[in-house]
Structure 1
């Protein structure tokens, strides 16, 4: 056990020494990885800050059934009761808006009051407004329920916002693809930078590695310092990225507070919690170590 600890401590010391032996090259590589990692951290801060705002905005669509003018309010109530009983799993709320109430609401709007005053009678129908529950297949459910309810007896016209829901679904799908591509790009940058760093170190230590093999050093002993070099690069770059993101959020929050104030709202960006940051550091270190292992395996075959 002591021998194993001694070997790993020696490999870690060698990795530190190799980082410090080429300060400018190491600093450039660390900056590249750190700046790349800063982007998803700031993106995550935006997502975390946006979650409370998104929860306040209802994205559930409403379907409005306009009853034929030949039917009275009792017909609208019976349709509402039928929908509430038969589609309890899909419907969050059902309410009836009488034609007189709808007319009074329009008359209360100055833009419509003069035009409505010249009408001899109320041309508006009774309406049944149905609010749907949030589901993953919301656009499909809106289309299916609309086709079903427009054939109900007494229903004249159906109005719904399925197009808006479809646009929302398309935007969310686009954002998911964008975030996935950003994550893939970050992984590729980390792997490529660490791979090239370890490659240059392995080539510069070519003679030292050859001598170590001649005196009986195992492949694990030869590769271990390079693995620590990759892991250290990932850890240091991750910590630097967190610091960069923290500094970048200061001016961003100042301008965001001014913007949110114009809407009488409070909004601030903050870093992910400590557990997520530690998990990110560990993930980057593992990826960097794997890239280092791949690089040293390919470039020490001599």
Structure 2
């Protein structure tokens, strides 16, 4: 075995002995870091699970222009042609839904057939469905709706997919919040590991001094502390994954009832294994960097 590998094995053994020599202190630090990591991991899991749902929703909002009941097919066609001609840069598609066809489709549905069979006249208006394109859809949809409402024979303009825009805004807000939360958690982990390593270094001041007298290098002295930071944070990251996995069962049970009330299915799941592996490695590296910073400042004696 090469001298470098023997030094790393020795440093790892020293680190494990120090951890087990102070079980309560090590466990307390592990719990603090685990809870700090579990919160952003749970939020990231929710966003990852929500992404496919939002991806299946129509990204381009549809606006429905409802004509007055007394509007003729020619007047409805004129409004549709005007939208195609004057707003060609704003729309992708314009289609007309005839009032008679809409009534026939409703009567074909058994849930509405009995109620509609007693009607003597067709109460439904003609409708024009407009699909928008481009950027800043929410603002532009409001501007277009306000303009079209002023046209003759137009009764109402409805932005059918405005809720999609709200959902996308919520997801963007949550991503920004997650980034800020991750920064705060990273700072908390740095502080926890920094303080733990500092206390370890100060408690072993005499041992470090003797090691230097017999020729120990700075790398040899600091290596066990780097392992301490990396192992503590790596184990805490694994514990955070396990904690979130346990928390998902009651959360998904509650979400299932809520989703069923809207006729949908939704469940929060942990990210894929490669992402979780990267999460553990990144947290372990963060702990090692914090330990390196701490030991560099705490062993200058």
The TM-score range, normalised by the shorter chain, is 0.7 to 0.9
Q: 1:181 to 1:98 in 2, by over 3 A?
A: same
> Is 2:157 the counterpart of 1:159?
yes
> Is 2:35 the counterpart of 1:45?
no
Give the C-alpha shift of residue 149 in structure 1. 6.4
Are 2:66 and 2:155, in contact at CA under 8 Å, matched by a contact in 1?
Answer: yes
Q: 1:261 to 1:72 in 2, by over 3 A?
A: closer
Equivalent pairs, count: 296
Give the C-alpha shift of residue 246 in structure 1. 1.8
Q: 1:110 to 1:185 in 2, by over 3 A?
A: farther
Task: Describe how 1:125-136 pairs up with structure 2 within 5 A.
Answer: 126-133=126-133
Structure 1 partner of 2:5: 5
Structure 2 partner of 1:185: 184
Q: 1:215 to 1:264 in 2, by over 3 A?
A: same
> Is 2:42 the counterpart of 1:18?
no
Are 1:235 and 1:281, in contact at CA under 8 Å, matched by a contact in 2?
Answer: yes
Structure 2 partner of 1:238: 237
Structure 2 partner of 1:291: 290
Give the C-alpha shift of residue 158 in structure 1. 6.7
Q: 1:169 to 1:55 in 2, by over 3 A?
A: closer
Q: Which stretch shows the higher mean deviation, 181-190 or 232-241?
A: 181-190
Q: Distance in 1 between matches of 2:123 and 2:248?
A: 55
Structure 2 partner of 1:275: 274
Are 2:148 and 2:157, in contact at CA under 8 Å, matched by a contact in 1?
Answer: no
TM-score scaled to structure 2, two decimals?
Answer: 0.78
Structure 2 partner of 1:31: 31
Deviations 1:52-82 (A, max 9, x none): 4434544642223456899743454355356
3-state SS, counterpart of residue 215 of structure 2: coil
Are 2:62 and 2:131, in contact at CA under 8 Å, matched by a contact in 1?
Answer: yes
Q: Distance in 1 between matches of 2:102 and 2:129?
A: 12
Unaligned runs of 5+ in 2: none
Q: Distance in 1 between matches of 2:163 and 2:253?
A: 33
Q: Distance in 1 between matches of 2:216 and 2:135?
A: 58
TM-score scaled to structure 1, two decimals?
Answer: 0.78
Unaligned runs of 5+ in 1: none
Q: Distance in 2 between matches of 1:282 and 1:44?
A: 17
